[in-house]
Amino acid sequence: MTNGAFVLPRPVGVFRFSAVGGALEGEGPLGNCFDEIEPDDRFGQDTWEQAEGELQHRVAQSVLRKLPPHASSPTLILAGDLENQCTASNFGLLPLQLPFFGLYGACSTMIEGLTLGGLLLQSGILPSVLAVTSSHFCAAEREYRMPLCYGSARAPTSQHTATAAGAMILTAEPHTPALVGGCIGTVTDFGVKDSTNMGAAMAPAACRTLVTYLQARGKSPDDYDRIVTGDLGAVGSALFLELCRREGLFLDDRHRDCGLLLYDRDKQPVYAGGSGCGCMASVLCGHFLPELQAHRLHRILVIGTGALLSAISSQQGRTVPGIAHLAELSDHIDQTKEGQV
């Protein structure tokens, strides 16, 4: 491993995946990609926080139902979310009664779970991992900004936290789509203090992780069909592409941002685009993984970005550091080794 970049000696199968979303997500351009759309934004629960827990439970149940008959349950859950102390995961996945490691990676959590799971499955000690994450617009607004009933105005640079969740079952046995490598991000602080512009805060981390990985692998953007960022939105994506150009990386039409794919910004009130752990998680599980499975895409990089702020750190005037974890996914498993990192 060099500066966080690694190639897996044994590629890991992304064996099953599911996405669940809320009403607004169901009305968006990817509405048909979800396994389940729940029109009730409370998911039948009393509070927004419990609603997010139920959302996470639903996506886990959805992916577990896709396992073949008599397949074993996953050995370990890797999950986290944006709620204080990650209560959506803690409460939501409690009914599964499986060994559980909690993660905190803000909106990078899906890729943290994917890459961490991929590394753990190299150990030979466990055969499968369930990686889950979620976000809920109403829970996140109350926690990071204001309760919705206050009717606060939003900045044009702000992003809409997706009410969505994604779940993957990773297996040590080879399957496609496969995780073949990745890059663990380093916390990156460019001094952005505007907590209503998280795309700007996360773009430098995304660029840094991409440059680190491509250098370590000796690859260029041309080697990939898509380079997907988590949820930089319109502002962050433009900054990301500019930072990449300065590094000599011209992503041209290869770049896609989950925050821009999930909604139709012309028709839906999402300002600079989508965000939240569930944004990339659901777009990956609902769109990109199926595209790889159908061999319409062959090799992609997905970069999950997280803004490492809290309401308290913002109120105290601190910067918004970013982090970005990267995963390389392939629609086939190379028998020839691609070189170590």
Q: Which residues bind a second copy (CB under 8 A)?
A: 1, 3-4, 6, 8-9, 46-47, 49-50, 75-76, 80, 82-87, 90-91, 93-94, 97-106, 112, 116, 119-120, 122-126, 143, 183-187, 189, 308-313, 316, 318, 321, 323
Between CA 134 and CA 160 the distance in angstroms is: 14
CB of 24 to a second copy, least distance (A): 23
C-alpha span between 153 and 148 (Å, rounded): 10
Identify whether the C-beta of residue 48 lies closer than 8 Å to the C-beta of residue 155: no
Q: How many C-beta atoms surround the C-beta of residue 132 within 10 A?
A: 33
Tell me the closest approach of the beta carbon of residue 225 to a second copy, in angstroms: 26
Nearest-approach distance from CB 325 to a second copy, in angstroms? 8
Nearer CB in complex with a second copy: 157/186? 186
> Smallest distance from the beta carbon of 245 to a second copy, in angstroms?
24
β-bridge mates for residue 301, sequence order: 227, 328
Tally Cβ neighbours within 10 Å of residue 220.
Answer: 11
Alpha-carbon distances of 127 from 172, 258, 271, rounded to whole Å: 5, 30, 42
Which CB sits closer to a second copy, 51 or 235? Answer: 51
Q: How far is the CB of 114 from a second copy (least distance, A)?
A: 12
Of the candidates 163, 121, 133, the one whose C-alpha atom is nearest the C-alpha of residue 17 is 133
Which helix (H) or strand (E) element contains residue 179?
Answer: strand 178-183
Which residue, 82 or 284, is less far from a second copy as judged by CB?
Answer: 82
Q: For residue 236, what are the contacts with CB-CB under 8 A and spacing of at least 6?
A: 198, 199, 200, 201, 202, 203, 206, 229, 257, 259, 272, 305
Nearest to 131 by CA among 158, 174, 100, 155: 100
Unique residue bearing structure tokens 């790889």: 292
Rounded to a whole number of angstroms, the CA Rg of the chain reads 18
Q: CA 339 to CA 25: how far, in whole Å?
A: 40
Maximum CA pair distance of the chain? 58
- Residue 142 beta carbon to a second copy: minimum distance, rounded to whole angstroms: 8
* C-beta of 191 vs 269, nearer to a second copy: 191
Closest separation between CB of residue 31 and a second copy, Å?
A: 30
CA distance 186 to 26: 34
Q: Smallest distance, Å, CB 63 to a second copy?
A: 18
